[in-house]
Each structure stands twice: as C-alpha cells, then as structure tokens.
C-alpha cells in the first residue's frame, strides 16, 4: 500500500495562510489524495480530495504536484478552530474495495 509522509507538527498565526505538505512518492495512477482533519475528541472529518488537478472548496485548497508525488493542503486564513491533526490519505482500490491508508498526520497549532 502506498504511504504518505507528513511533518509531525506545524504552527501558524491566526488569520495567516497555512501550507501543510504531504509526500506520497509511491502513489499509483488510480490513487486519490484525500485530506481529513481530526479535532480533539472527534472522528476525522473530510476536508478536500483530488486526483491530478488542483482543487478548491470552501474549507481549503489542494495543490497537487505535476508528478503527483507530493501535495499541499492550503488553509487560506487559519483560525483557532482549525487547530487539529491533518491527515493526508491515499484512497486506493484493493481487491475491489476502496480503503484509506492514514499517514501519521500533522498536528497544526494556531496561535492567537
């Protein structure tokens, strides 16, 4: 299974943009890149996903490298509520079933 590598932790000031990197050098052509975040004492929640092209939604943007071996989650203006563990996940098809392989995650600390 393809794996992801993320920094253990990052800090950002409130109201500033945050770029969360993820390396996935063994990604296969059919793997989607998903980002989830886990707030304290909650289950993970969906943030964004993509395959090849950059993606934007109301929560964040996802920038995918041309060779797809890395990606960056961009939070345009961090708020205190964005403090969470952010997981970069590859969603692959295995034996006819899609499943997630979670990375170690990046703990984002937002400073007031």
Partner 1 sequence: SAVISQKPSRDICQRGTSLTIQCQVDSQVTMMFWYRQQPGQSLTLIATANQGSEATYESGFVIDKFPISRPNLTFSTLTVSNMSPEDSSIYLCSVGAGGAPYEQYFGPGTRLTVT
Binding site for partner 1 (CB under 8 A): 32, 34, 41-46, 49, 51, 87, 91, 95, 97-105
CA 58 to chain centre: 15
Which of 112, 67, 89, 80 has its CA nearest to residue 20? 89
CA 49 to chain centre: 8
**Cβ nearer to partner 1, comparing 12 with 105:** 105
**Minimum distance from residue 9 beta carbon to partner 1 (Å):** 12
**Cβ nearer to partner 1, comparing 13 with 28:** 28
Question: Residue holding tokens 């794996």?
Answer: 3
**Cβ nearer to partner 1, comparing 43 with 112:** 43
């Amino acid at each position: 299974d393809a794996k992801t590598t993320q920094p253990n932790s990052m800090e950002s000031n409130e109201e500033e943009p945050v770029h969360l990197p993820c390396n996935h050098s063994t990604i296969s052509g059919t793997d989607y890149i998903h980002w989830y975040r886990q707030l304290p004492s909650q289950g993970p929640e969906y943030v964004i996903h993509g395959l090849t092209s950059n993606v934007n939604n109301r929560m964040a943007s996802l920038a995918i490298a041309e060779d797809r071996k890395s990606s960056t989650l961009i939070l345009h203006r961090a708020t205190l509520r964005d403090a969470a563990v952010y997981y970069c996940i590859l969603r692959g098809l295995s034996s006819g079933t899609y499943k997630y392989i979670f990375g170690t995650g990046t703990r984002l600390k937002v400073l007031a």
